[in-house]
Each structure stands twice: as C-alpha cells, then as structure tokens.
Structure 1
Amino acid sequence: MEEGSWAMFLHNLGWGLLRRWYFVLVGILITAAGGLFVWTAVPPSYQATSTAVLLPPSSLVGEKGNPYLFMGGLDQVVSVLTVRLRSAEVAEPLIQGRGDLSYLVEKDPASPGPIMLITATGNSEASAMELLGEVVRVIPANLTVMQDQLRIPTFSRVEVMTIVQDHTAVLLIKDQLRVLLAAVAGGLAVTVLVTALLDRVMISRRKRRDERRNQSSNQIPTLLQEPEAPHLEVQSSAGRRAAGPSKGNVGSAIARDQEFDIPTATSNP
C-alpha cells in the first residue's frame, strides 16, 4: 500500500472513530472491565533468592590455606551440580502437589567463580520462602551423592557454603502486567476494528436509504399527474354552417333551416 493510500486510510479511520465515538466509548469500558478481571484472575507471584559457593577440598588448600585462592577448576563442578538439581529426581519431591511453585538453580552470571544462584517462586510469600529453604538444604546432600558415586575420599571432597539468602520474598507483577497489557491491546484493537466495520455498514445503509428516497421522490409526481381530458373542439354556429352539417346532425341542420328560412307570401298587385 502506497503512502498516500495509508494516509487516506488513517484519515478515514480517524473520522470514522470520531463519528462513532459512542461505540469507541463502549469498547473502552469493556476493555477496562476485562483488564480488571484479568488483573484479579492472574495471581501475583513472589520470588526469593539465595547464592552459594563451592569450596575446594582441604587437600588442596592445606591446613592454613585460603580456600578462596584455590577456586579454579570448580566451575565444572557447578555445571554438573546444577544439572542434577534441576533434574526430575530432585525437583519432583520439592514441588509436586504444592501448587504453582518453581525453582531454578544456575551458575550466577553476574559473579565470577563457582557461585550458584538459587531462585524460588511461589504464589505467596510463605510458599516461596519455604521452597527456597528446602532447595538450599538439598544442595549439600546432592553434592555428597555425586562424590559418593565416584568414591572420592573425604579430604578431597568439594564443599558448598551459602553466601546470601533472602529473608523476605519480593512481589513480582510482571506476569500480571504482561497478561494485562495483552488483554488491553487486544481489546483496543477489537474496538477499533468493530467500530470501523460498523461505521462502514451504517454509511452504506444510509446511502441505500437515500437512493431509495430519491427514487421515490422522482416517481411521485409522475404517479400524481392527472390524466389529460379528451379534447373537445367547440365550433361556433358560423363555423358549423361554414363546415356544413355533419352526418349525424343532418336532421338538426334541416330543422334549423326550415325554422329560420320561412317563406314570405307576397300579394299580387
């Protein structure tokens, strides 16, 4: 579509919305009611986070060594541990049958080193905090299981330590906002389309009604015109005499001649 066509389309659409402003108002009210319903129907979510770090084994650090100086190479352990914590074997006992709960364990992208970020999400602050605590508690147990499977000796085992853990959950409204914006955008789009369609239908009906009215007004004078009366030619008596008697009036003419042409008797001297 060319630029001029788009401009004309938008111009006609704008005038149509102005002409049918009452339809637009009804659509806005319905959209607002739908947005309010969606906002109340979609429950808010709460989120709590915690961070944990993996510590190198004592055999590497030594009795008086600093474990933070020997964290190289533990990123691989973090990757394997996060995969295990996200598996169904670990996740199902934590969230199964507990409503809309979820958690995520991943390597913290904002922190260098073997640091894990644990995020728990629930439909209430209490449920989110409870789930976060349970996930934090199962991390050392699963790390132990992984090392038991490889029969790693105690002095060579990696340990985990919690760095920071939230004490309150944060209210998240992004899901509500996303659904609300989608509902409002859809409602306004439907309002514009329906209003434009109704405007075209009403204009088309008015044009047809005007055409029928014009046709009716053009036909009424013809129907009301009086029929022409038969033409009667009136002739004067002189004209009739000049033209002569007609066939049907011969007797009348003879009678008139006899009536007016009376012979006069004259006496002989």
Structure 2
Amino acid sequence: MDLAEIFRVMRRRWYVLLPGLLLTAGLTVAVYLLVPVTYQSQSTVVLLNSQKATVAYDGNPFLSTQTSLTGMADGLARNLNSDVSVRELRSRGATGTFEAKLADNAQGPLMWLTVTGTDEDAVLASDRILTAYAGQRLEQFQKQQSVAPKAMIRMTTIVAPQSPVAQTKTRLEYLVMAGCLGLVLSLVAVFSVEARRRSHEPTALRPPPAWSRSAETGPATEQGAGRPAMAVAPAAEPLDEESTHGQRSHTGQRDR
C-alpha cells in the first residue's frame, strides 16, 4: 500500500478518522491541564578546610584544599539524599523532591542542592531549608566524632538558592506522547474498518487487480501499447483442382 492509497483510505473513512482526531485533541488538552508545571531551584555550596589547617595560609580557606574534602562532600550528599534526611526536611516544612550531589565538572568539594516542586514559592523556601540543613548535618557528623571546633570542616554558600525556573520538558514529553498515541489509534481504527468492509464486500463488486486489467487490453502493438488487438479474419481455404476447373467452365459458359 503506497502513500496515495493510504490517503484515499483516510478520505473514504473520514467518519472514523474525524472522531479519532477530536479525541486526540481532547486527550492532549487534558494532559496539558492535568500535568502541572514543575519548578526547580538550586544552590551551590563548597566545603572549606578547618581553621587549624589554614593557619599556614593566614586563615584563608580557599588557599588550603585537600582531596579529603571532596570525599566528605560526596558522603554528605549521600546522607542528604537518604530517607532519614528527607523526613527531617519535611518535618521542617520543606516540600517537593530534594537532590544533593557533587557539582558537574567541579575541581573541588562543590555541591549542588536542588529542590523540585509544583509551587514556585514553596520550592524557593524548601531550597533555603535544604541549604541550611546541609551545613547543620556537616557539623553533626563532626561532633559525633568529637572533632575540635577549630579542626572542623566548614561549609559556605557559593550561590544562594536561585529563583525557581519552570521545567517544561516533562510536560512537553507527555503532550507529545498523548498526541502520538491518539493519532496512531485513530489510524488503526480507520484501517481496521477498511479491512473489515473489504472482507465483507462481494467479489463481483471488487475492482479487478492490475494484472487482469492489463491482460484484457491485449499485447502491445506498434501503434501504441495497451490498445486492443484488431480481429483478423481467417484466411480462405484453398480450393482443390476439381472445384477450380468447374468454376472456370461455369464462368466460360456464362460469358458466351
């Protein structure tokens, strides 16, 4: 079945295709209304060396870096993503989903703290709660190990929680999925009806196949291919010698 035949079937079964397209449009509108827009806010924090370790650098923590700080940042991120931390954050009024991880392509103990939700104001407030909780959690870890205050790793905010940004990718994906699904189901219904009608159609009413139509036209002639062949009268049978002699005698007598 070529493309032209597909369009002919769609035009012939428009009464099936049209309701399907209307249902597809309704499904797309429903997805647009039911799937809410999500917002995302993100902050960036960094772990700094302790006051004791920065004495040689006149107390400047940005001049004193250690590979152990990156390991500590990874451990802190894993703890913030745990169920215990999520419950603690929700008890403090945070909503949405939380994510803490090492910053991409970071050359140090940089962390991204991200909150995603459907309420723009609540997302920003939750990101602030998450940022503050991360610093408190880092301090708790070290207190549990009886680390002296001057030897504790510190955390500072590099980028404060940003204004929430709408995330339209997920919503757009659902819209495309709904539209494609409705279109496919509409086409399936159209060709199912066409196949059912053809199966119940009498054979005499069906158009002959292409090979039979070409056979009826006869072989191609020199004047043009596809023209019907001209009927040729059978050649007369030759007369025998006696019949020929009788005809000549009869013709001679008639002339006299």
Give the alignment's TM-score, normalised by structure 1: 0.69
Q: State which of 54, 61, 64 in structure 1 corresponds to 2:58.
A: 64
Q: Structure 2 vs 1, CA of residues 129 and 183 (structure 1 numbering), >3 Å: closer, same or farther?
A: same
Q: Identity of paired residues, percent? A: 25
Q: Does 1:120 align with 2:115?
A: yes
Q: State which of 100, 104, 110 in structure 2 corresponds to 1:109.
A: 104
Contact 1:100/1:123 (CA < 8 Å) preserved in 2? no
Q: Does 1:203 align with 2:206?
A: no
- Residue number in structure 2 paired with 1:129: 124
Q: State which of 37, 44, 48 in structure 2 corresponds to 1:55.
A: 48
Q: State which of 2, 21, 31 in structure 1 corresponds to 2:14.
A: 21
Q: Which structure has the bigger radius of gyration?
A: 1
Deviation of 1:29 (Å): 1.6
Contact 2:81/2:99 (CA < 8 Å) preserved in 1? yes
Q: State which of 150, 157, 160 in structure 1 corresponds to 2:155.
A: 160
Q: Structure 2 vs 1, CA of residues 173 and 67 (structure 1 numbering), >3 Å: closer, same or farther?
A: same
Contact 1:31/1:187 (CA < 8 Å) preserved in 2? yes
Q: Structure 2 vs 1, CA of residues 136 and 97 (structure 1 numbering), >3 Å: closer, same or farther?
A: closer
Structure 2 residues without counterparts, runs of 5 or longer = 207-256
Contact 1:53/1:160 (CA < 8 Å) preserved in 2? yes
The 1-side partners of 2:17 and 2:92 are apart by 45
Letter in 1 for 2:27: G
The 2-side partners of 1:199 and 1:57 are apart by 77
The 1-side partners of 2:89 and 2:43 are apart by 16
Q: Structure 2 vs 1, CA of residues 56 and 138 (structure 1 numbering), >3 Å: closer, same or farther?
A: same
- Residue number in structure 2 paired with 1:141: 136
Contact 2:94/2:129 (CA < 8 Å) preserved in 1? no
The 1-side partners of 2:28 and 2:52 are apart by 61
The 2-side partners of 1:21 and 1:119 are apart by 50
The 2-side partners of 1:18 and 1:168 are apart by 51
- Residue number in structure 2 paired with 1:42: 35
The 1-side partners of 2:54 and 2:166 are apart by 41
Structure 1 residues without counterparts, runs of 5 or longer = 1-7, 212-269
Deviations 1:93-152 (A, max 9, x none): 323697971010100013321000011011110110111011011111100111112111
- Residue number in structure 2 paired with 1:232: none
Q: Give 3-state SS (helix, strand or coil) of 2:157's partner.
A: strand
Q: Does 1:179 align with 2:190?
A: no
The 2-side partners of 1:99 and 1:154 are apart by 29
Q: Does 1:33 align with 2:26?
A: yes
The 2-side partners of 1:98 and 1:20 are apart by 57
Contact 2:95/2:122 (CA < 8 Å) preserved in 1? no
The 1-side partners of 2:181 and 2:91 are apart by 35
Deviation of 1:24 (Å): 2.1
Deviation of 1:206 (Å): 3.2
Q: Structure 2 vs 1, CA of residues 84 and 181 (structure 1 numbering), >3 Å: closer, same or farther?
A: same
Letter in 2 for 1:198: V
Number of matched residues? 204
Deviations 1:179-199 (A, max 9, x none): 111111111110111111011
Q: Give 3-state SS (helix, strand or coil) of 2:108's partner.
A: coil
The 2-side partners of 1:126 and 1:61 are apart by 39
Contact 1:94/1:134 (CA < 8 Å) preserved in 2? yes
